[in-house]
């Protein structure tokens, strides 16, 4: 199976752009699996967050998929175009990475 990920790229103060990546995947693979593979094989500068220390508790990989908030670790890749964007109500770090925790909760 093959997915096309349309990923919003850029940093604070930059005009956002969209990069298209196509990747093969096996049924059941997560969006996070695809992003990690893309960073290794296609673009080492692709920025996104994840921790995977405690399943369904970390909230680090939250982003928009086709305009809806998802966890990239639980959303599944599909054989179609999938548009990924950073959370709109959080400060942007770069690409899909945003500041998740409020300042008083960060160490």
CATH number of the domain enclosing 88: 3.10.20.30
Is there a domain that residue 104 lies in? no
Nearest to 48 by CA among 85, 76, 20, 74: 85
92 inside domain: yes
* Residue 11 maps to a domain: yes
For the chain, what is the domain count? 1
pLDDT by residue for the chain (107 residues), tens only, comes to: 999 999 999 999 999 999 999 999 999 999 999 999 999 999 999 999 988 765 555 778 999 999 999 999 999 999 999 999 999 999 999 999 999 866 555 45
pTM above 0.85, yes or no: yes
Q: Is residue 80 part of a domain?
A: yes
In a domain, 105, yes or no: no
Q: Which domain holds residue 54?
A: 2-99
């Amino acid at each position: 199976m093959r997915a096309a990920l349309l990923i919003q790229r850029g940093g604070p103060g930059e005009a956002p752009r969209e990069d298209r990546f196509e990747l093969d995947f096996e049924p059941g693979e997560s969006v996070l699996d695809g992003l990690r593979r893309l960073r290794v094989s296609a673009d080492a500068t692709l920025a996104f967050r994840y921790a995977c220390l405690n399943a369904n508790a970390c909230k680090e990989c939250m982003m928009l998929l086709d305009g809806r908030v998802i966890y990239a670790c639980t959303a599944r890749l599909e054989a179609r175009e999938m548009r990924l964007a950073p959370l709109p109500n959080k400060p942007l770090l770069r690409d899909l990475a945003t500041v998740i925790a409020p300042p008083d909760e960060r160490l």
